[in-house]
Amino acid sequence: MVETVQSLQVVGGNGAGIVLLPDGPDAALSAALTTEPTLTSLPQWGTAEPLGPPACFNRLAARTDAPVLVLVESGTVLGPGCLRLLVEALAQPGRGLAGPSTNRSWNEQGVFNRARASDVARIAALARLHFGSAARSLEPLHSLADFCLAVGRQVIEAIGGADEEYGIGPCWEMDYNIRAARAGFQGVWVGAAYAYRYPHTERRRATETGQMDRARRLYQDRFCGLRLNRLRADYEDHCRGEACEHFAPAPLLTLRRPLGAPARAGPSAEPAAQPGPPPRPVAAAAAEPPLPLVTAIMPTRERPEFALQAVRYFCAQDYPNKELVVLEDGTPSLAGRLPDDPASATSSPGSRREASGPCATRRAGWPAATSWPTGTTTTGTAPGGSPARWLPSGIVRPISPLCAVA
């Protein structure tokens, strides 16, 4: 906890107030809270019994009127610029929640899984270099994690507090993300912001393992349309989020919950739509000009498995307006094997057995690019070696400056 506080003091400067939220601390932490100078100098809004992260969030939200709240888990060390980048991301229209990259997370945020505690500043600089200004939502699951979760005051005004029924278990943050999304606020992963996480304690690991099944069921009680309509008695092993047609039907959800009051669990609760103040639709940011079509031309020869892996990476890109033209230099081997995705296509320059080389093959693909006649952006992938292991923002980052110039 001391390292967490010290990192907050460094990255927050004089503009951030720090409050400790002890949640049923054990003997060692209780002693530190009364003797460690770094901790004793700060306000402490704690409870003797562990009530869980949603109760901590609600205490913070109810006792301060700050325009942005950042719930930071003990054992999280914020890298240089982390808070500033999160706050800047929330300044964009339609955004209400934000979180950084990290070294340890089950979702997309855990991109630096080999980082060490001694490398925080270096990895933070690398994150800024790699991601730039890119930020993305974590749909379809709305899985923004709670180890460092920034929430705008407008979200709290619209949907109230976190659901304390989750207690000390997981999934409360996804619950809050989804309610915010249905109220019109987008949650985003800010890739350039970085926070290091120490491994969880044995106590934390045991708690999460013991609470996981209960939290999973409660989460589906809240957001599964079939259970809300009493059409299903069992539970899915894994929720597919927005990929499921029965996920989070807005008319059946309780969007607004009071700060600090647990809600009744289960589909027996009378569903009620309580949107609070008029929502701010995410579409408010849609005034921007449409994104140009980006065509990637991929020449390849006699390496179908590598080529298919590269195609999968391309299809996973979060840039929406894209297409991939695959050109085989020689005997075709990918026919019928490409994924059923509108972003991928194939075009062979012929069934020549003699290689014509990557440059000639790439040029042969230009007429097949939809973007070629319109003069919009066309990029090429390297023909040699292993396929590029792009992160989902691999197109967004290089194309953003070009869009700005256009």
Looking at residue 115, its pLDDT comes to: 94
Closest CA to 163 of 18, 89, 83, 266: 266
pLDDT at 324: 82
Does pLDDT of 384 surpass 70?
no
φ, ψ dihedrals at 72, nearest 5°: -120, 125
Q: What integer pLDDT is reported at residue 85 of this predicted model?
A: 96
- In the predicted structure, residue 70 carries a pLDDT above the cut 50: yes
Q: Is the pLDDT of residue 405 over 60?
A: no
Residue 245 has pLDDT above 90, yes or no: yes
- Please write down the HEC assignment for all residues of 74-118: CCEEECCCHHHHHHHHHCCCCEEEEEEEECCCCCCCCCCCCCCHH
User: From CA 269, how far away is CA 274, in angstroms rounded?
Assistant: 14
Q: Where are the beta strands (DSSP E) in 209-311?
A: 294-300
pLDDT single digits (tens) 112-151: 999 999 999 999 999 999 999 999 999 999 999 999 999 9
Instruction: List residues bridging with 196 in a β-sheet.
Output: 77
* Segment 323-351 mean pLDDT: 68
Place domain 2-205 in its CATH homologous superfamily.
Spore Coat Polysaccharide Biosynthesis Protein SpsA; Chain A (3.90.550.10)
DSSP-assigned beta bridge partners for residue 72:
148
Which of 380 and 212 is assigned the larger pLDDT? 212
Q: How does the average pLDDT of the chain come out, rounded?
A: 80
- pLDDT of amino acid 14: 56
Q: What is the pTM of this model?
A: 0.65
pLDDT at 404 over 50: no
Mode of pairing for the β-strands spanning 322-328 and 344-346:
parallel
Asked which of 1-15, 77-91, 272-286, 313-327 is least confident by mean pLDDT, the reply is 272-286
- Residue 287 pLDDT more than 70? no
- The runs of H, that is alpha helices, within 258-335 are 304-315
Residue 20 belongs to what H/E stretch? none
Average pLDDT over every residue of 257-284? 44
Model confidence at 344, pLDDT cuts 50, 70, 90, reads low
92 pLDDT more than 80? yes
